[in-house]
Amino acid sequence: MSAVDATTAEVVERPPLDPRIANVLASVGIHRPDPDDRLHVALVNAVGRTLLGAYGDQLAAMRFEVVAALQAAGEAYATARTDYEAYIDRETVRLVMGADKVARTLAEQMARASDKGYELKLAFLLAEKRDQFLRKLLDAFAAAGENHRTSRADQRAADRMHAQGYTGAS
């Protein structure tokens, strides 16, 4: 895998991702980790730190990284939403109180239709989607953990039955 260095514009070869790390990430739906995505890098590092541990340990380490990212995303979402709403309120008041005495509903619509209103709304919606994505990613981790626990319990039950001499044949 290669990338372009942002400062020198040179192609930089990146070492390939350890297949064991790639398999853990793929098990939760991240099939092509992006080395430029801060969360993907954190998840790769979390799995790398726990590579010798159990799959459950790796899931827990990744969950901690996502929870931290979710906190930051929640703050960004709250800020973006507040910025958007405050802008609409300020601009509406400015237009209503201005020399043209625009009606409140028209002033609010004008504020929403402005370029700045559009930019702030887009930032707010993108922050909201990031927050939602991270919550769904946590759900995927929980589902993977539950599947793993079920598989382990099934394997233990099969091992017990085998140890007791049950062969499954009638």
pLDDT for position 71: 96
pLDDT for position 170: 57
pLDDT for position 13: 65
Q: Give the Cα separation of 54 and 65 in Å (integer).
A: 17
| Whether the Cβ atoms of residue 77 and residue 88 lie closer than 8 Å to each other | no
* Count of H-run helices and E-run strands, the chain: 5, 2
Q: Give the Cα separation of 25 and 88 in Å (integer).
A: 41
Dig out the tokens for 150 from the structure.
């079920």
Alpha helix segments (H runs only) across 50-114: 55-97, 104-113
Q: Which residue ranges make up each domain of the chain?
A: 2-132
Q: Give the Cα separation of 67 and 64 in Å (integer).
A: 5
Whole-model pTM? 0.74
Q: Give the Cα separation of 124 and 126 in Å (integer).
A: 6
Which residues of the chain, if any, have pLDDT below 50?
Answer: 1
pLDDT for position 8: 74
| Whether the Cβ atoms of residue 69 and residue 130 lie closer than 8 Å to each other | no
pLDDT for position 162: 84
pLDDT for position 61: 94
Beta strand pairing call for 11-13 and 2-4: antiparallel
